[in-house]
Structure 1
Amino acid sequence: MLGVLAILLTLFSLMYFAYRGVTVLVLAPILAMIAALLSGEIPALHALSNIFMPAAAGYIQAYFPVFLAGAIFGKLMGVTGAATSIAHFISDKFGKKHAIAAVVVATSLLTYGGVSLFVVVFAMYPIGAMLLREADVPKRLLPAAIALGAFTFTMTAMPGSPQYLNTMPTVYFGTDIYAGPILGLIGSSIMFFGGLWWLNRRAAQAAAAGEGYGNHENEGLHELGDDLPNFGISATPIILVFVLNFIFTKIYFANPSIIASYEAAGSKINGTWPVVLGLSISIVFILISMRKFLVNTNKIVFDGAVGSLLPIFNTGSEVGYGGVIKSLAAFTTVKLGIVALAIPSIFKVAISTTLLAGIVGSSSGGTAIALEVLSKEFLSMGIDPQALHRIMLMASGGLDTLPHCGAVITLLSVCKLNHKESYFDIAAMTAVIPLIAVFVVSIFYLVTGIV
């Protein structure tokens, strides 16, 4: 009983204090020790040094190259103006009539191309705000439009996405980033078209009520300058990431002789390698082809590298906390309770993952904990690993965007709006519709067995 209380108390404390802005770098180790102390099973300092730290370090060891390459790539795409050039090109082609769709498509192309979610938010805000202002669409819908393009299907469902979240299950399930292609495409379609329907409907309701863009002071908008790389050169790094990911995943690392060489060295092919290689080669391409748009290149690369540290250490801390929780006897009771639910196994996977993501306010944090503590149980359920990979990730993109989610707070801050103005539509985009998609895709898998 004390163990269960320790788990619930520390989980809700993590959610509450994260919502209040306390960093998980501090929260996670403190709450892990409190959980150990309250349970009475293990000494608090033993939990910190012998359980928390190895779990956190293991996560950082596995995923640091992905975070590092992704952060530098995103930084370069932003600083050179390539991200802005791509977004502006798409906005121009769609026109004012389809302002919301233009924001969503531009954002999703950047995200699916490997630009990090946070970089996309900063790149899309000025373009999206100007586009909605010209079309007289309420600005309060902008965060939801950006969230639909960045925080949903391109992050969790689209097969081949180079976002680091899509690489996480590869280490545990032996899959690759293209896992569950049919399930992913079905889920992506539901999220994309469902989200666009919702946002256009909300815009039409606002227009009928006489609500326009609104008066917003100190928006921080500026007209886009002409000193940007052209669309062709800007899009090439993203195309390179697509092509190289596919070549490395499906051809090079699928070659029996390459597999045998790694096995002879005592290791296996790591699912994160194609993404790291694809991003790294694209980084070199940007440094060469867009050098005239770069001032003090060393500092830019340094800033990008440093930018990878906080996200990975935040997630690593959450994984360390999960490792301590996993070690408590009460967690086994909770885990067995989830496994014993009288529902299809694939729903157990989805429910447990989205609950963990909601508690820590992070899709990657929830996925990391779920993989660390439940992956063996998931695999023992007889579910196709590809279905596990895709449905688990889609579920992680459900409750992860509760109000305390760091990405949501950042998005609202960049857009200079607040929860009261925009969170309702953000929740519809990033929680309600994705969970509907997870349910539909799970039913489809249960009925057909197709992945």
Structure 2
Amino acid sequence: MGILGIVISLVLLMYLAYRGITVLILAPILALFAALMNGGMPLMATYTEIFMTSFAGYAKSYFPIFLLGAIFGKLMDDSGSAKAISQAIAKKVGADKAVLAVSLAASILTYGGVSMFVCGFAVFPIAMQLYKEADIPKRLIPGAICLGSFTFTMTGLPGSPQIQNAIPMPFFGTDAYAAPVLGVIASIFMFSGGILWLNHRVKQAKKAGEGYGNHPDEKSPAIDDNNLPNLIVALIPIILVLAINFILSKFVYVEGVYDGAYLAEKPFLTTLGKVGGTWSLIIALVVAILITIVMNVKRLSSARRSVNEGAIGSLLAIINTSSEVGYGNVIQTLAGFAIIKDALLGISSNPIISEAISVNVLAGITGSASGGMSIALGILGEQYLQMAVEQGINPEVLHRIAALASGGFDSLPHNGAVITLLGICGMTHKESYKDMGMVSVVIPLCTLIIVVLCALMGIA
């Protein structure tokens, strides 16, 4: 009954989230349902002392990154920097390579710290122009944006400031540049595979005589070129995020350079390895935010409003993910989960393989890369690290595998980012999900298998 209760709650979580019910309501209700099916645990104590404690712990660890990332993205959007970068790439690459231009524009923005949601709004108007000029079906636009923002820049490229690359840091004592060789290998496979697929789909459409299509309800977003910053000004904040993060994480907040002995004492009770990567990313984003404001003070109608809107916009993202983490931590305390946990760990005695599978499965169930990875590492991260130490596996490998695994089944049709991007583009699942699924689920899963094999051969 205990295992059945967990399975039913997971299925309901996935189905009802897809039907549009917020996880803020689903997570605690379904967690308590599973607890009730597992021998009648005290429901109120489970909610306040397990669910909410885990909720608060996750928010404490990652809220600064969610907050600063959202503010930075909003400023890049409102200042016109995101549009300037997108337009510059589109003009350089040309309409004849529209798929490449759109994917590159989305890639640069997300790798620089702009959120995937802001990226969609910034790139879509340029994508519309390019696809119309090249007479490529509009239904292929979501796939190109998805490739640039939901895949390798989120999970593969070393140094990415996206939350999916930050979550493993405190679990494994790593930084955002963990296992750079594996990350680059993965990024090459995901990007090249995605471009090949999307270009193949363009050729199919051309052969069938299908053009951009007739979209009577389409509203073409206006693009104001008059007040956009030049490309250098637009790129400086992105370069700063990556450079400052690298310098601090590799040369400042490291053992032997920074004296972090005080962290082991009260009231901190932590280690430099667990917080150094997060500190580096926080400082990098703060500096980039300030520089963005200073360089675009005349372009921003109200810097205060942009900062406020970015901050408010970050709340739903962090609360949703914290709720999923609270759900996962309730599940892991249940008697029935002990059997599931043993099964996950029993998949393989190698933590690389076990982690790749468990993170992917939980990301798929929750429809969230960050939520699924947080649940998996919260439950099994300590065991994976211990197994890695015993087997001589570099913890950086666990970091990169966890990040890559989170970007597979997460993008199933019920994923919030998938639904949002389709809405931005005015497309439906039926029209565009086939290509989104190929570039953000199938190709990343194939890439993960290749990277796992590389990791097993000792490549990091």
Alignment match of 1:410 (pick from 409, 420, 440): 420
- 1:347-366 to structure 2, matched below 5 A, reads 347-366=353-372
- 1:26-45 to structure 2, matched below 5 A, reads 26-45=25-44
Shift of 1:297: 2.1
**1:277 and 2:283 aligned:** yes
Maintained 8 Å contact 2:82/2:122: yes
**1:129 and 2:116 aligned:** no
Q: Which amino acid aligns with 1:231?
A: L
In structure 2, distance between residues paired with 1:27 and 1:202: 38
CA deviations 1:387-411 (Å, max 9, x no partner) are 1110111111000011110000000
Maintained 8 Å contact 2:46/2:330: yes
- 1:150-299 to structure 2, matched below 5 A, reads 150-225=149-224, 226-254=226-254, 256-260=256-260, 262-263=262-263, 266-269=269-272, 270=275, 271-299=277-305
In structure 2, distance between residues paired with 1:359 and 1:260: 39
Aligned to 1:96: 95
Alignment match of 2:443 (pick from 423, 433, 440): 433
CA deviations 1:3-34 (Å, max 9, x no partner) are 10111000000000000000001110111111
Shift of 1:344: 4.4
Shift of 1:223: 4.3
Shift of 1:133: 1.1
Q: Secondary structure at the match of 1:292?
A: coil
CA deviations 1:114-133 (Å, max 9, x no partner) are 00111101111111111111
Aligned to 2:459: 450
Moved more, 288-297 or 337-346: 337-346
Aligned to 2:344: 338
Shift of 1:296: 2.4
Aligned to 1:68: 67
In structure 1, distance between residues paired with 2:288 and 2:120: 21
Shift of 1:209: 0.6
Structure 2: runs of 5+ lacking an equivalent? none
Q: Secondary structure at the match of 2:259?
A: helix
Q: Which amino acid aligns with 2:441?
A: A
Maintained 8 Å contact 2:350/2:387: no
Shift of 1:373: 0.5
In structure 1, distance between residues paired with 2:129 and 2:30: 43
Q: Which amino acid aligns with 1:268?
A: T
Shift of 1:231: 1.0
Aligned to 2:408: 398
Maintained 8 Å contact 1:259/1:268: no
Q: Secondary structure at the match of 2:21?
A: coil
Q: Which amino acid aligns with 2:394?
A: D
Maintained 8 Å contact 2:368/2:411: yes
Moved more, 36-45 or 401-410: 36-45
Shift of 1:442: 0.5
Aligned to 1:376: 382
Aligned in 2, Cα 1:255/1:289: closer, same or farther, shift over 3 Å?
farther
Q: Secondary structure at the match of 2:298?
A: helix
Maintained 8 Å contact 1:41/1:328: no
Q: Which amino acid aligns with 1:189?
A: I
Maintained 8 Å contact 2:368/2:410: yes
Aligned to 1:315: 321
Shift of 1:367: 0.6
What is the identity percentage for the equivalent residue pairs of Structure 1 and Structure 2?
A: 49
What is the RMSD of the two structures over their aligned residues, measured on CA atoms? Answer: 1.3
Q: Secondary structure at the match of 2:258?
A: helix
Equivalenced residue count is 449
Aligned in 2, Cα 1:244/1:342: closer, same or farther, shift over 3 Å?
closer
In structure 2, distance between residues paired with 1:200 and 1:332: 46
Moved more, 262-271 or 170-179: 262-271
Q: Which amino acid aligns with 1:389?
A: H
Instruction: Report the TM-score when normalising by structure 2.
Output: 0.95
Maintained 8 Å contact 2:164/2:406: no
Shift of 1:343: 6.9
Q: Secondary structure at the match of 1:291?
A: coil
In structure 2, distance between residues paired with 1:342 and 1:80: 49
Maintained 8 Å contact 2:131/2:212: yes
Maintained 8 Å contact 1:363/1:396: yes
In structure 2, distance between residues paired with 1:177 and 1:221: 38
CA deviations 1:262-301 (Å, max 9, x no partner) are 4465542312111111110011111111001112222221
Maintained 8 Å contact 2:251/2:257: no
Shift of 1:261: 5.2
Shift of 1:92: 0.2
Q: Secondary structure at the match of 2:260?
A: helix
CA deviations 1:116-170 (Å, max 9, x no partner) are 1111011111111111111111111110100000000000011100112111111
Aligned in 2, Cα 1:376/1:208: closer, same or farther, shift over 3 Å?
same
Maintained 8 Å contact 1:137/1:203: yes
CA deviations 1:308-358 (Å, max 9, x no partner) are 100000000000000100000111110101222257442211111100000
In structure 2, distance between residues paired with 1:61 and 1:127: 37
Q: Secondary structure at the match of 1:373?
A: helix
In structure 2, distance between residues paired with 1:135 and 1:280: 40
Q: Secondary structure at the match of 1:162?
A: coil
